[in-house]
């Protein structure tokens, strides 16, 4: 018996900005941002965006349609309840083969689903010596 998770759409700018403060994974033709809402709501929030760098309006809309369909297939399986996800189209999203796009989205969602510890800080480097001109 499968438990159906409620999927909601992110529609307002503050929701997208909040997700940008979470963790993100870039894979091939897509960047996926994830935010743990910590509000007790078990639904999964999905948002989609494409900047003008991706192309004209026709190309951007095609890229977002493809991302919506990929997320519709994969988010219920790989998404974590209580999290929001924003899918950002990249240059090759509209023209990428469907199998490769699905693989990119699956890879990003899988990577985000693995539990992460706190971000590791960069190892401390010894201070550079000032001007050794001997």
Helices (H), strands (E): how many in the chain?
3, 5
What phi-psi label fits residue 116: left (phi over 0), alpha (psi between -120 and 50 degrees) or beta? beta
Residue 108 in contact with residue 25, Cβ under 8 Å?
A: yes
Q: Per the domain annotation, does 121 fall within a domain?
A: no
**90 in a domain, yes or no?**
yes
Summarised one tens digit per residue, pLDDT across range 25-41 is 999 999 999 999 888 88
Percent of the chain with pLDDT over 70: 83
Q: Look at residue 14 and tell me if it is in a domain.
A: no
Asked, for residue 15, whether it belongs to a domain, the answer is no
φ/ψ region of 131 (left if φ > 0, alpha if ψ in -120 to 50, else beta) reads: left
Does residue 105 belong to any structural domain of this protein? yes
In a domain, residue 13? The reply is no
Tell me: pLDDT of 1 over 80. no
Number of domains comprising the chain:
1
Q: At what angle do helices 98-113 and 57-78 cross, to 10 degrees?
A: 50
Q: Is residue 32 a part of any domain in this protein?
A: yes
- Does some domain include residue 10? no
For the entire predicted model, the pTM comes to: 0.81
The CATH number of residue 53's host domain is 3.30.230.10
Q: What's the pLDDT tens digit per position in 56-86? A: 999 999 999 999 999 999 999 999 999 999 9
Containing structural domain, residue 78: 23-111
């Amino acid at each position: 018996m499968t438990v159906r998770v409620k999927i909601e759409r992110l529609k307002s700018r503050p929701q997208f900005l909040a997700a940008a403060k979470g963790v993100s994974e870039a894979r091939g033709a897509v960047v996926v941002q994830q935010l743990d809402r910590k509000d007790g709501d078990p639904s999964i929030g999905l948002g989609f965006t494409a900047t003008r760098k991706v192309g004209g309006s026709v190309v951007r809309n095609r890229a977002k349609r493809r991302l919506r369909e990929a997320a519709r297939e994969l988010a219920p399986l790989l998404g974590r309840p209580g999290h929001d996800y924003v899918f950002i189209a990249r240059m090759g999203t509209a023209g990428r083969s469907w199998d490769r796009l699905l693989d990119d989205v699956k890879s990003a969602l899988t990577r985000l689903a693995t539990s992460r510890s706190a971000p590791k800080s960069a190892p401390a480097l010894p201070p550079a010596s000032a001007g050794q001109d001997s």
